[in-house]
Amino acid sequence: MTLLYLLRHGAIDWPEADCFIGQTDAPLSAEGRRQAGACRSELRNLEFTAVWSSDLTRATETAGIIFAGCAASIRTCRELREIQLGEWDGQPRGRVRESHPDHWRARGEDLADFRPPGGESFRDLQQRVVPQIARIAEETQGTACIVTHAGVIRVLICHMLQIPLSNIFRIRLDYGCVSIVAYSPGRVEVCALNLRPSNLSCSPGGEIGGPHDPAQV
């Protein structure tokens, strides 16, 4: 059995609130660095045989804080990037809603397959992410940590639990929290969702969640 710890990066530094942040390469905020430090304190006693990260700055910075000085080197991967939002990337939601009401309505009617101009749909994202996660699981002996994004983790969980992508935002994922999935021959399992660092030393059935932050995709 292979265990994958799916870690959402820490909070980002971005000048405007409530924006679409897909592949816009925002850095961590001071709060995000604190969150990464809290994860480091809880994960340091676990033995990871592999560490993977999205190649976007907020993910690599999170991984660098957590795994500085660890034996496992950090491998980056473009397939672990957040959804590509094209012309909407980095834009405030309210501005997009007001400027493109037809597109906004179309997104609400077909969340799974709507593509912003120049961007991906959540189904596109799922088709990019699921094979890459499966490859990581197949080549990992033991436990791996994957530092990535909310959209990536959500589409994977939807795939594993056979949840329609139209329900993707019913899966809560806070900054700096961990979800755990297990891969065995012929079987995949979701063991835990949205664990705060303080709960990582508990079983996957322990308390989950923390102060909520809005999803930014």
Model confidence pLDDT, tens digit, residues 2-17: 999 999 999 999 998 8
pLDDT greater than 70 at residue 213 = no
Catalytic residue among 61, 82, 120, 149: 82
112 touches 121 (CB < 8 A): yes
pLDDT greater than 80 at residue 108 = yes
- Strands 143-148 and 50-54: what pairing? parallel
What is the identity of the amino acid at 18?
D
pTM for the whole structure: 0.91
- Residues 147-156: what's their mean pLDDT? 98
Mean pLDDT of the chain: 91
User: Smallest Cα–Cα separation from 12: which of 55, 62, 49?
Assistant: 62
Catalytic residue among 9, 61, 79, 120: 9
C-beta neighbour count of 85 within 10 angstroms: 25
User: Smallest Cα–Cα separation from 194: which of 182, 183, 204, 184?
Assistant: 204
pLDDT greater than 80 at residue 156 = yes
pLDDT tier at 65, thresholds 50, 70, 90: very high
DSSP single-letter state for residue 151? H
- Residues 184-189: what's their mean pLDDT? 91
pLDDT greater than 80 at residue 128 = yes
pLDDT greater than 60 at residue 203 = no
Please name the residue ranges forming H helices in the chain: 30-43, 57-67, 93-99, 101-109, 122-139, 150-161
Predicted confidence (pLDDT) per residue in 10-56, tens digit: 999 999 889 999 999 999 999 999 999 999 999 988 999 999 999 99
Q: Residue 209's pLDDT is what?
A: 38
Whether 149 is catalytic is no
The fold of 2-199 is Rossmann fold (3.40.50)
- φ, ψ (nearest 5 deg) of residue 183: -115, 125
Q: Residue 62's pLDDT is what?
A: 97
Domain ranges of the chain: 2-199
Whether 82 is catalytic is yes
